[in-house]
Amino acid sequence: MAATILDLPNPVHPSFIDRLDGDFLEYYNKNIAIKPATHTVDLAEVRQNPKKFAWPWCKDYSDLPFVNDIKITSGDGFQFTIRTYHPDSGRFGPGPFPIHINLHGGGFCFGDLTSEAEWCLLVRNEVGIIVVDVDYRLTPVRQAYAHAPDINGLSDSISIGGVSAGGFYSCIVQQLARDANLPLKLVRAPAWA
C-alpha cells in the first residue's frame, strides 16, 4: 500500500503518515494527492485550464439567493469580479451590515471565486455579515468604503482577511488601507445581535 501512495503525484511525505488522522489521509489521497503539487505546475497551463487544477471543495454558489457578482474597475483600469454574500434579511434584519472582504488562498496563482465559497456562505449564514469575495486581484477596499451603502453595508465596519496567499495579500492591503486613512475593523454588530 505504501508503494501505491508514493506513486501518487503529490503524496504525503512518508515521515508524516503515522502522525496524521486516517480519515484525513484517505481524503487527501483521494482528492489532493492525485493532482501535481502546485509548485510543479506551469502557470501558463493553470491559466489555460484552471478547472483542471481546482480543488474538490470549489463550488459555484452564484445562483443562490443573496449572492451577487459585481464588476469592479481598479485604478489601473483592470476589470475584475467580486462576489457578495448578503445575510438573509428575514433572519438578520434589514441591515446595513458589517462587511468582511475575503482574499482566497492559492499560492498567488490558483483559485477563484469558487475556492472559498463554502466558507463565505458559512460566515454569511452564521455571523450575519456581508462577505465580499475577491477574484484574485487588488482588493476593492476603496470601493467597499465608497459603495458600502450600495450593497447595504456599513462603510465604518469593514474587515479584511484571507487564508494562505490571501492572508499575505490581506497584510499588505491592511497597510495600504492604513496609509490611505481607511480604518479596517468590524465595529458594529448586526441589528439582530
Supply the pLDDT for residue 75.
Answer: 76
Q: Which residue has the higher pLDDT, 89 or 77?
A: 89
* Identity at 29, one-letter amino acid code: N
| Res 188: pLDDT | 61
* Least confident residue range of 59-68, 137-146, 149-158: 137-146
> Quick one: DSSP state of residue 20?
S
What is the predicted pLDDT for the residue at 137? 53
pLDDT at residue 2 in the model: 46
Cis peptide before 96 (omega within 30 of 0): yes
The whole-angstrom separation of Cα 161 and Cα 21 is 28
Does the predicted model carry a pTM greater than 0.85?
A: no
What does each C-alpha distance from 66 to 92, 121, 181 come to in angstroms? 12, 10, 30
Least confident residue range of 46-60, 79-93, 147-161: 46-60
Residue 19 has a pLDDT of 94
Q: What is the mean pLDDT of residues 65-71?
A: 94
The structural domains of the chain, ordered by start, are 2-50 (no CATH), 67-179 (3.40.50.1820)
Residues 101 and 132: beta-carbon distance below 8 Å? yes
Rounded Cα distance between 48 and 9, Å, is 21
Q: Where is pLDDT greater, at 21 or 74?
A: 21
pLDDT score, position 3: 42
Residue of 120, 117, 103, 121 whose CA lies nearest to 165:
103
Average pLDDT of the residues of the chain:
85
Average pLDDT over residues 17-40: 88
Q: 3-class SS at 127?
A: helix
